[in-house]
Amino acid sequence: MSNKTKQSVSIHADKANDESLRGVGKLDYTNAGRLHSTFKRIAATFAGDEHKPIPSKKKEKIKCPGCHQNFKTNNGKLPVHRERFTNTLCNQKKLWYEEPKIVNRAESVIINEFEVKKGDSVAFTTYPWNLYFVDPNELREYKVKELYNMDNGKVFLDLEGVENMISSTIFVKNFIKL
């Protein structure tokens, strides 16, 4: 036989200092809470033949861009969490070498004090970076097909005649809206 003491469960008079009429039960249920839940159950039996389910929030699955763990959430935000194997707090940001993915479309983006929207014409040079489609000796006009918010927190431009999308952060001071 073990050395555990037997815990008695009995109804007892409540202390005079308790704020509720009968005090708080063993599981921290107040008598008002018990009465409310009992009333709801009894009222549901007299509701008739129609069954009305209680609407619940739909949880969506999201993936952390930093550690690639999956989470269920009601509000679309990632919870503060730890990485699986290192047990350090996850910074929830993608690594620099991973390909960004489209989250949604953006209405506009501000680049060097110019507000750029879908359908606008722009011209730029990419000094100090060199891109495969830009000739450093020629200034060419590009039309913006679409703007996208990416999962790395940046806005990318989709330009007509250009195969890949371009981050709006690569433009230094040599960007103009036509």
Does residue 129 form part of some domain? yes
Distance CA 138, CA 75 (A): 47
Q: Which of 107, 150, 143 is nearest to 124 (CA)?
A: 143
Q: For position 137, what pLDDT does the model report?
A: 75
In the chain, % helix, strand, coil (3-state, to 5) comes to 10, 25, 65
**Domain with 37 in it:** 20-49
Does residue 3 form part of some domain? no
Q: For position 85, what pLDDT does the model report?
A: 84
133 and 153 in a single domain? The answer is yes
Give burial (CB, 10 Å; 0-12/13-18/19+) of 125. Answer: buried
Q: For position 51, what pLDDT does the model report?
A: 64
Give the pair of three-digit tokens for residue 169: 């952060």
Does residue 8 form part of some domain? no
108 and 155 in a single domain? The answer is yes
Does residue 80 form part of some domain? yes
Q: In Å, what is the CA distance from 144 to each residue of 63, 85, 116, 126, 147?
A: 30, 43, 8, 16, 8
Q: For position 143, what pLDDT does the model report?
A: 92
- Sign of the alpha-carbon dihedral angle for 160, 161, 167, 171: negative
119 and 163 in a single domain? The answer is yes
Place of tokens 């993936």: 63
Q: For position 152, what pLDDT does the model report?
A: 78
Predicted TM-score (pTM) of the model is 0.50
- Would you call the peptide bond into 53 cis, given omega within 30 degrees of 0 as the criterion? no
Residues of the chain with pLDDT under 70: 1-31, 47-56, 126-129, 172-173
Q: For position 119, what pLDDT does the model report?
A: 92
87 and 141 in a single domain? The answer is no
Q: Considering its fold, how many domains does the chain have in total?
A: 3
First to last CA, the chain: 88
